[in-house]
Amino acid sequence: MKKIIYLSTNKFKIREVEIVLKGKYGLDIEAMNPDFEIYEIQAKTCSEVAAFSAKYAANKLGKPCLKSDTGLYLEALGGLPGPYNAYFDRQIGVEKFLKMLKDEPNREARIEHCFAFCEPGKEPVVFIGESRGTIAKEPRGKDGRWHDFFYIPDGETRTLSEIGDEDPAKKASFYGDAIDKFAEWSKDNL
């Protein structure tokens, strides 16, 4: 099996990859913070963003690369922030985001989590997973990405952050099965 470079500057994404791909599946993954900027295109879906970034990085490094992207889709906002998750976090943050939704009765949401794998000179292979949930009225928890503080997966009363504070592996399971789909695919294809 080939060594795979996972590129991210996000410590929570790196922790997820180490728990699931290294720990659960035993894949040879090297998490790397690249010394070059990996461009994230403006796109309608997280899968398009992840695919573009994985292909760009694989061709730049000359090595097989794995890249992920996550989007939060709210029914009340017509699917926003979607693939603009990081932009919403940088521009308005958790508190202002929740203030926007203060009087909104429809708190239904879903998280789309995508992994894209690409080898140099080839087209990326994309794996998509999702979970459904609701948006809390206030942020809760100590650790995580911005949406982790207010996203409550279906069947839970705690936010992703609160779940991750106790059990990071359980938290990873609420991002959908894209990472597992990639791991299973890699057994026969790498």
Q: What is the pLDDT of residues 88-145, one digit of tens each?
A: 999 999 999 999 999 999 999 999 999 999 999 999 999 999 999 999 999 999 988 8
User: What residue numbers bound the domain in which 141 lies?
Assistant: 4-189
Q: What is the pLDDT of residues 64-97, one digit of tens each?
A: 999 999 999 999 999 999 999 888 999 999 999 9
Which CATH number is 75's domain given? Answer: 3.90.950.10
Structurally, how many domains does the chain consist of?
Answer: 1
Residue 1 has pLDDT above 70, yes or no: no
Average pLDDT, rounded, for the chain: 92
Give catalytic residues, as residue numbers: 69
What is the value of pTM for the model shown? 0.89
Give how far the C-alpha of residue 133 lies from the chain's centroid of Cα atoms, to the nearest Å.
Answer: 15
